[in-house]
Amino acid sequence: MDNKNLIEQNITDTLELNYMPYAMSVIISRAIPEIDGFKPAHRKLLYTMFKMGLLNGPRTKSTNVVGQTMKLNPHGDAAIYETLVRLTRGNDALLHPFIDSKGNFGKQYSKNMAYAASRYTEVKLDSICSEIFKNIDKNTVDFIDNYDGEMKEPVLLPTTFPNILATPNQGIAVSMASSICSFNLKEICAATTAFIKNENTDIKKYLKAPDFTTGGELIYDEDEIDKIYNTGRGSFKVRGKYRFDKKNSIVEIYEIPYTTSVEAIIDKVISLVKAGKLKEINDIRDETDLDGLKIAIDIKKNADVDMLMHKISSMTPFTDSFSANFNILVNGSPKTMGIKGILKQWLGFRTECIKRQTAYDLDMKADKLHLLEGLEKIIIDIDKAIKIIRQTPEERLVVPNLMEGFGIDEVQAEYIAEIKLRNINKEFLFKRIEEKHKLMEEIKRLNDILKSDELVKDIIIAELKEVSKKYGKARKTDIIFHNEIPQISQEQFIEDYPIKLFLTRHNYFKKITLASLRSASEHKLKQEDEIIQELETSNKTDILFFSDKFNVYKAKAYELNECKASSIGDYLNNLLELEADESIIYICATVDYSGYMIFGFENGKIAKVSMQAYYTKVNRKRLVNAYSSKSRLIFISFIKEDCDFIVIRDNDKAMMFNTALLNEKITKSFGGVQVFALKKNSSVTKIIAKQDFLSDDEQYYRSDKIPSAGHFINEDDKIKNGIAQKTKLL
């Protein structure tokens, strides 16, 4: 390539020149709705149907509508038909559909329920469209050329109610999006009426909350609703509804959030069942039919239905969020507004429509009055008019002669000249005079409307009341307050059952259900490995792992994988992310962090640390300085309450004491209390629970005070307990 032909360009200038027009086109011409509540694709489609006479006429094939719409919308028949489907009564996407339909149009709440081809379905405009197109032929809105200049189309539709709030709209443009939820039409009309009368009114008194075709229950959080109403941004949650067929143990979901689908809920439930998180469910299936939406869930006979539905609600789209972003085009510019801002913009738009319609009617009536004023002059001497006409030799001179004879203009003379001979009678003429007086009164009324914003507001309010009366419906989405919903923690969703934990010397860990353990033959371990601790507990406990590096690692039992006795288990270095040379030496389980940890040290000190020392409000996985590092640890044990232990010194002396003699400490790294009085070069070599020490007279070793020098171990007890030499320390 010849570099001489290359021209350097500033990238920002190039983007502004080429990309910005595209971005603005998407924002203005496709994705963002305008104050009439429609995107261009909706407006072009509905206006085409209006011009086809489908407001009052019979239904026609959808393919005819699609074809005609392409005169205004050149983006292809598939896109047009998708737009049409969403606006139909059969699709159930809108609280107030604009298209009366016949045939299969799929369902908004189902991804798999496909709509039929356009050649099979039939449509016409629904009756509410009379409010959408009201007086559109009276210059209420501007018209522009279509893409090829062959037709005219409206810039906006003169809706008599705030359709922008009644119709849900979602769109993604370039660098911005819009997400508008639908509201109940009765509530919209009442709120708009109240706002027109007083802009400072509390909108929430009339406009309770969003409303959706799929029903469900809106979880009302006043702070979030206030945020949405005031700023146009925020989110709220909607959950589905269900009923329980106790006889057949079937839960039937019959309403779901607007933002999800039947398939999404079923797929998520199935995945949770496979993961073992919803063990109460035997089967789930889609039983949606002509009677409406239904998801049937077969559950086990002894299942807690309320708890199951709480699980489903928290872990599936059975409860889903709607993120509101009231981004609307106002005079060609995107603007995010709260409810009052939207109502103010719509009120300004509707006021302009009524004034334009009034001006149009005024012009029409003024022209009619002008004709009747000319006729009135003729009535004074009708015989003269007849004489002028009869004596005029040429037809083209009739109008000029009437103008000259009665002092009227050409328009009036033309009107008079066209009156039929049969109408030149007193009854006809006097009716026209009476009509003139009525016209004068009507013109005065229209002039008053043009001059008075209050009269315009009265007209808007009257239209809103009429719309509410004719098309208003009861709410479909119920409202429940978030503080009325019982708060259930995640742990309550966890199934509780007995388990047994195993810790091996080589740092392997097993969590095995007792049911599985009963059917097992023997444990599988790595070569030269051995089990050093067994612990029976339940699936809803906290497990504490104490390491030889003075750390404790915490985990929820239900978060740990279950395994079989025939597996070697989980390697704790990976499971707990231990240091390379770190090993777990002890595990314990707790529900309420009651009881104590007992730490015995080589220097004869023993620490009694409250389990509360290991409790944390946040789920911390690692606590450092879990026990003292001042002396070598030789014993560790969890006790629920005070009990007796045997402390052995140098394998020749022993003492028995009760842990009640030890002061409880909340400090994890507490170095302990001197229990055994040691002489120089002596050390504690072993600590044994009383029940594990074999002796015919264990009370011989009892000491009621600490520290104690202990008693010499008799030879018989040494033999029974295998005490012959110093044991290896942990």
Catalytic residues: 120
Distance (Å, whole) CA 27 – CA 171: 9
Query: Beta-strand (E) ranges in 659-724?
Result: 673-674, 684-689, 711-712
Which residue type occupies 614?
Y
Q: Rounded to an integer, what distance in angstroms lies between the CA atom of residue 544 and that of residue 532? A: 16
Closest to 311 measured CA to CA, from 297, 323, 324, 329: 297
How many Å apart are CA 708 and CA 677, to the nearest integer?
Answer: 5
Cis-peptide into 707, omega within 30 deg: yes
* Residue among 215, 36, 11 nearest 132 (CA): 36
Handedness of CA 670, 674, 676, 682 (dihedral sign): positive
CA–CA distance, 708 with 657 (Å, rounded to integer): 9
Using an 8 Å Cβ cutoff, are 411 and 371 in contact?
yes
Burial 41-50 (b: 16+ CB within 10 A, else e): bbbbbbbbbb
Length of the chain: 730
Quick count: other Cβ atoms within 10 Å of Cβ 333?
11
Burial of 432 (0-12, 13-18, 19+ CB in 10 A): middle
What is the sign of the dihedral through the CA atoms of 657, 658, 660 and 666?
positive
The DSSP 8-state label assigned to residue 247 in this structure reads: T
- Indicate the helix (H) or strand (E) that contains 81: helix 77-86
Which secondary-structure segment (H or E) carries 193?
Answer: helix 185-197
Crossing angle between the packed helical segments 222-231 and 339-380, to the nearest 10 degrees: 50
Of 612, 578, 604, 569, whose CA–CA distance to 707 is shortest? Answer: 604
| Calpha distance 86→67 (Å, rounded) | 17
